[in-house]
Structures are given as structure tokens and as C-alpha cells.
Chain A
């Protein structure tokens, strides 16, 4: 099951050219661009790991794309996303975030229903990949 998080996730995967144009837009808005990766695709997992530092003051997207290619070389089997931070209000706020790399095989999520008091039902989503194996090996095969 293809996960749909952030911008453009209902579209087919962006090509590198399209990615670089999105990054260029972020840079033209003076946003800091950063690259993050994770192998825990749960929608509530907001803490992805960062690839290097956020990139400030770059004039051209090619620099970010260079880092993205480096990141893909190392973490090509995980989810990688690019986000643009706007600091103009005085704090950093995410203005855009989109997935630029995903594992080949995404097993998807299981929905668990729990009967609790007074016939209430609680729902839990669990990722098959996360449940199956430990961190770092989830999508490797």
C-alpha cells in the first residue's frame, strides 16, 4: 500500500527534475530546505531523522539535489522527504514537505479494533513493516 503523506503524494512519484523545481521554489521563497529519512512510516511519526543540516542560503537547487543523491545512496530503501522551513515569522514552520524516495515494497498498515468500555471501539494502526522487523532492516529485502 502506497503511503500518502505530505504534498504531491497522490500524484505519481516526482522525477528529479520536478523535485529540483519544487526545491527551487522553496529557495526562491527563502525557506531552509532539509532532507529527512525514516523507516517508520506511521502517520503520527513526525520525528524523521535528518540528513545533515538544514540548507540555508543556497541560490540553486542543484546543491540540494546533490545531497539528496548522497542520501539515496545510503538510505535508498527508506522513505526520504524534503521539507521547506519558513523562518520569516520568527520561528521555523514547515511550509512544504514531500516524499522524494520510498521503498520498493510497501506492505501497508493493519487496523486493529479494540472493544473497550460501553461498547466503545478504539482503533490502532500498525505498519506491517514496522511490526515485522527491527529498525534499519524493515524494507531492506
Chain B
């Protein structure tokens, strides 16, 4: 039994400060998420110290639920979470097994249990990330096998707490409905984290980080144009936060490439190839019309 523990040494030993700092720098916004992760990390660190002092307590429940609109970084945070839990010694391997309804629920009687167990076996020692978890439960179809998968999951979540951390993710309103129809799930999940939408400034910062990773940059005109783009895009239906921004940047890169290739005699400098100018951004459909495009209306209808 250890009488004293040096907190700084302990922090350095697990290298958690590093991850948290990285999390802070690389993920823009998401204030409440970061605070919660910080809290969880602190708790786990203290638990670790308490274990050393032989003040044992039960393994804390670490199952989580991430709710938020599309593109708010749920998957990214889940990957980081696995890393944090691994460094603190709460999951042994730190891998993430990411699944959806397809991988858990079978198509006929007797197909679901082996499928679900197979995935659970793979996820042991790591994190099981269930994306769009509410699809597991289909209230309109009473012969649905999703319920069977849920029962197996719940049982393993409870009995093998030290082997497996389950993270459920999905849109807030549907998750709410999912939890209300499976009361066992809600109480077995200790951490409900809500991912807020990004503000316009945060979206711009995200765009710039993404561009920097791809070795591109905005000229100052282009940045101004992109600020306007964000405001317009946000007003459109099916806006999915960072994912929309990433798609927009992909299209902007296409236009930039096209502009460069248009003049065959040009001699290109590094700066030319890297720079995104205002015309690349302004060519977007979003500026032409305030009406949502037909395609998007269609997909919108389908989503409802």
C-alpha cells in the first residue's frame, strides 16, 4: 500500500494531460463535451490513485451515450475516449469496434444471438461504438430481432463491466425515444453527453484546421466569402455541421483544381497550388439561390 502519491508523476505516467491538450487543440468548440471528458478523466485518475492506496471501490460504470446533430464529432470523440480509457487502464486494448444495427441484428430466428456475441467478443477489452443505436429497436415491428440484441447487450454491459465499454451515439430526439422504450439502457449508462451544434466562428475555425491538414489555405478574400458561405449553408436544410464543411471544402478543392488546369500555359508556384481564392468559394450553388435545391428537398423528405 502506498501512503503518498505524487499527482504530477501519476499524470505523466499515464500521459493523459497530453491527450486532453490535444483534444482541446484539435477539436474546436464542444465545450460541454470537453468539460465532461475532463471530469471523467479526473475521476479515473483519482480511482487509479485510490487503487494504489488500496481504497478499492467497484469499477465505475463507463458506458456512455453521445447525442447530437450529425457532424458534431461524436465518432471522433469516441476514438479519443477509447485512447483515454486505455491509458488510464480501464480498457485493456483500447481498440474501437464500430458497429451499426446491421452487424448486431440478424435476419431470421436464431441468427441474432451469435451475431451479437461475435461482435461483443471482438469488442472485449476495448470500446464498442454503436452508431445510430436507436435503429436497434423498431417499435413498429413487434417481430423485430433488435430486442434480442438489446437484451444480450444489456446483460454483457452489466456483467462484464471491466472488459467492455459501450458507447451509444445518435441524434438527440431519437435517442430519447430509444431510451424511453428501453428503460434498462438509460440507467446502465452513466455518462450522457450532449454534443452542441457549432457556431459560425467555430465552423470557420474547423474549416481552417481541415485546410491546414490538407496543406491548403484561404486567401483573405476567400475567407470572407467562406464566412458568408457558412451563414447561407447553415440556413439550408440537411446542414450537418463539420461534415457539411468538409464536403464544401472538397468541392472547393475541385473548383480550385479546375481553375488551375484551365490555363495550360501557367507556371504554378507552391503558393498558387495551396491557395484557395474567393472565386473558388463563390462559385458554390449556395450563393446562387436561396431556395434549397430539388435534390436536397427530396432527401429531406426521406429523412422525415
Contacts and interface: CB of A to CB of B under 8 A. Distances in A.
Contact of B92 (A52, A58, A60, A66): A60
A59 B93 contact: yes
Interface in B224-263: none
A62 B122 contact: no
Contacts of A17: none
Interface of B (DSSP majority class)? loop
Nearest to B119: A63
Interface in A78-92: none
B125 interface: yes
A58 B114 CA distance: 15
Contacts of B125: 59-63
Nearest to A59: B93
B79 to A, nearest CB: 16
Contacts of B95: 59
B279 interface: no
Interface residues of A, number: 12
B88 interface: no
A133 to B, nearest CB: 32
A66 B122 contact: no
B126 interface: yes
B160 to A, nearest CB: 7
A67 B118 CA distance: 10
B148 interface: no
A66 B126 contact: no
Contacts of B92: 60, 62
A57 B121 CA distance: 10
Interface string A59-74: 1111110110000000
Interface of A: 52, 55, 57-64, 66-67
**For the complex of A and B, 7 pairs with smallest distance between CB atoms:** A60-B125, A63-B121, A62-B124, A62-B163, A63-B124, A60-B124, A59-B93
28 contacts: A52-B114, A55-B121, A57-B122, A58-B122, A58-B124, A59-B93, A59-B95, A59-B122, A59-B124, A59-B125, A59-B126, A60-B92, A60-B93, A60-B124, A60-B126, A61-B124, A61-B125, A62-B92, A62-B160, A62-B164, A63-B121, A63-B122, A63-B124, A66-B117, A66-B120, A66-B121, A66-B124, A67-B121
